[in-house]
Structure 1
Amino acid sequence: MTDRTLAPDTIVLVHGFLVTPRSWEHWIPYYEAKGYKVIAPAYPGFELEVEALNADPSPIERVTVPQIIAHLEKIIGALDAPPLLIGHSAGGVFVQILLDHGFGAAGVAINSAPTEGVVVAPFTQLRSVFPVLRNPTNRHRAVALTPEQWRYAFTNTFTEAASLELYKRYAIPASGPIFWDSLLANLIPGPQDAFVNYHNDARPPLLFISGSADHLMPPVVQRSNAAHYESRSLTEVKLFEGRAHLLTAQKGWEEVADYALDWAAKHAAIETRPRVRTYPTISVDLPARRQSLRAP
């Protein structure tokens, strides 16, 4: 059982799809050098190396979002105090779900995929996911991107050589079942796998970080996602200019890592202080609030 009166001393890094925890290889020692314990758990079945998952992607085909969430909740729930949560891409969705479920002291969603109800779909995003969604039979299998498709979706601001190097080091196939379920989620009545309660006043603070050049999850996706939150819980958006989807490995990633940690630690420290919270009666202009979230 975690103790919410303790300041966070642990960071949990949650990777996205098409990569593994190896994608955090620079961030882990960077945060450890700042005195934090860092955990970068793999999804169930993803404990294998990148090369093994490319050779046999069956674990990718089998895993489900509820399994991933249950796995992460078990790890986080065993800690002495709520950690800081930082997730990239689909990991940003999982951070939002974890916070909604009461896990974590504060969360950062970097170039996050959308949670349920966010229906913005820019052209670059559609083009990025088209290799997975173009064939309905992909709903039952893992789908690998080509180096060219990877570069468009993940590393469009990188040199071709740098993109290929990262493709070889990080890339694994996408989960066709999860991608297709995400596509259809907003068409199915009732809560689906990526559901969060946008009215949860008890949710810990949440920061969205966007890369302005992201093709896969453009900034408009994060702005729309943030605007869906209508609770009193703190929700902010930060834009980094010129950053691609894989900004966690892009030159200058340290700036993003520092901003994410400083924001999360600051607001988690506030949230973990014993206090009595009172709220005045106010009239909320929701359209104006959503408009304010469009600015970085």
Structure 2
Amino acid sequence: MKNIQSKTIVFITGAFVTHTGWENWVTYFENLGYTCINEPWPFKRGTAAQLRSKQPYDTQLADLHYSDVVEHYAHIILKQDEKPILIGHSLGGLTVQMLLQRNLGVAGIAIHSVPPQGVTTFEFSFIKSLWKPLGLFSSLKKTHLMSFKEWQYAFTNGLSYEEQKESYENNTIPESRRVMRGPLGSQGKINFKKPHPPLLFIAGSADHIMPASLNYTNYKKYKDPKSVTDYMEFEGKNHYVLGLPSWRDEAEFTNSWINKQFGILN
């Protein structure tokens, strides 16, 4: 394996939340000497409160497709002076996979990732968490904002009521149902036999919306024997993993894994 070299990281946020959830990670990696790029999706620049005020009639966001999100980050990557490391959470994890497939990153970390087309599970928590956001019988002309009750179950299960309430107010924003449905079809297709840059999957045993078993199935789909594909599961971590007091667990493991790909001994 050829060691990768890059001092640039592009962070890719997931659905339902603002990109500010990466702030701890950005500070952590900047202190290690990385240039960190943390840009929001199209039509999502603003505070959580500002973006929620547009619900449910943010027509620009409602018309956004998942392929638009992927291209948005592809353009950001191509503006950098070097090919970056890609780190994504949830739908951002799938976006990392999509961009690595196009060789737009030197390595990728998919944290509690949404699965590509054709990879699914029948776990109750997965179906319950996504039933309303997907809104298969709802209008695509309106955005979806997770209710506090949905947030408690899908993202912050196991936290205190106060922690759940504060995280909801600080993070939740409306989402495009077109984006949410996109990965179910060709917009989320991955060629699992194709060689790819090093890819790490990080999962959490307590995640309701993206169960660890689903992340593991996604990981096992990759078939190229010469490509590095790794998997790590953290006990007790829910989908709000970036905002938990223990966020350093994943950040430090990610740094160690990156150093391993660089050929640096920890």
The alignment's TM-score, normalised by the length of structure 2, stands at 0.91
4+ residue stretches of structure 1 with deviation over 6 A? none
Give the Cα–Cα distance (whole angstroms) in 2 for the partners of residues 110 and 95 of structure 1.
10
Q: For 1:1-296, what aligned pairs fall within 5 Å after superposition?
A: 7-57=5-55, 58=58, 59-133=60-134, 136-183=137-184, 185=185, 192-201=186-195, 203-232=196-225, 233-267=227-261, 269=262
In structure 2, stretches of 5+ residues that fail to align are none
The AA in structure 2 aligned to 1:241 is E
Quote how far apart the aligned CAs of 1:48 are: 2.4
The alignment partner of 1:26 has SS state of helix
Quote how far apart the aligned CAs of 1:31 are: 1.3
Give the Cα–Cα distance (whole angstroms) in 2 for the partners of residues 133 and 97 of structure 1.
20
The AA in structure 2 aligned to 1:212 is S
CA contact under 8 A between 2:65 and 2:182: conserved in structure 1? no
CA contact under 8 A between 1:141 and 1:177: conserved in structure 2? no
Larger mean CA deviation between 134-143 and 222-231 belongs to 134-143
The alignment partner of 1:39 has SS state of strand
Q: CA RMSD in A?
A: 1.8
CA contact under 8 A between 1:214 and 1:245: conserved in structure 2? yes
Quote how far apart the aligned CAs of 1:258 are: 1.0
CA contact under 8 A between 1:8 and 1:265: conserved in structure 2? no
The AA in structure 2 aligned to 1:178 is V
Give the Cα–Cα distance (whole angstroms) in 2 for the partners of residues 243 and 124 of structure 1.
15
5 and 220 in structure 1: CA distance in 2 versus 1, 3 angstrom threshold: closer
Give the Cα–Cα distance (whole angstroms) in 2 for the partners of residues 46 and 26 of structure 1.
20
CA contact under 8 A between 1:13 and 1:24: conserved in structure 2? yes
Give the Cα–Cα distance (whole angstroms) in 2 for the partners of residues 141 and 148 of structure 1.
20
Deviations 1:210-257 (A, max 9, x none): 010000000011111111111131111100000000111112101111
What is the percent sequence identity of the aligned residues?
A: 32
Quote how far apart the aligned CAs of 1:60 are: 2.6
CA contact under 8 A between 2:62 and 2:140: conserved in structure 1? no
Quote how far apart the aligned CAs of 1:134 are: 5.0
Give the Cα–Cα distance (whole angstroms) in 1 for the partners of residues 92 and 135 of structure 2.
24
Give the Cα–Cα distance (whole angstroms) in 1 for the partners of residues 229 and 3 of structure 2.
22
What is the match of residue 286 of structure 1? Answer: none
Quote how far apart the aligned CAs of 1:96 are: 0.2
Larger mean CA deviation between 203-212 and 226-235 belongs to 226-235
Deviations 1:149-192 (A, max 9, x none): 10100010211110110100000123222223444x2xxxxxx1
Higher Cα radius of gyration: 1
CA contact under 8 A between 2:67 and 2:182: conserved in structure 1? no
Give the Cα–Cα distance (whole angstroms) in 2 for the partners of residues 255 and 213 of structure 1.
15
In structure 1, stretches of 5+ residues that fail to align are 186-191, 271-296
CA contact under 8 A between 1:108 and 1:264: conserved in structure 2? no
CA contact under 8 A between 2:8 and 2:34: conserved in structure 1? yes
The alignment's TM-score, normalised by the length of structure 1, stands at 0.83
Deviations 1:189-219 (A, max 9, x none): xxx1111111111x10101000100000000
CA contact under 8 A between 2:219 and 2:230: conserved in structure 1? yes
The AA in structure 2 aligned to 1:206 is L
Quote how far apart the aligned CAs of 1:85 are: 0.8
CA contact under 8 A between 1:111 and 1:222: conserved in structure 2? yes
The alignment partner of 2:138 has SS state of helix
Larger mean CA deviation between 85-94 and 117-126 belongs to 117-126
The alignment partner of 1:51 has SS state of helix
134 and 42 in structure 1: CA distance in 2 versus 1, 3 angstrom threshold: closer
What is the match of residue 291 of structure 1? Answer: none
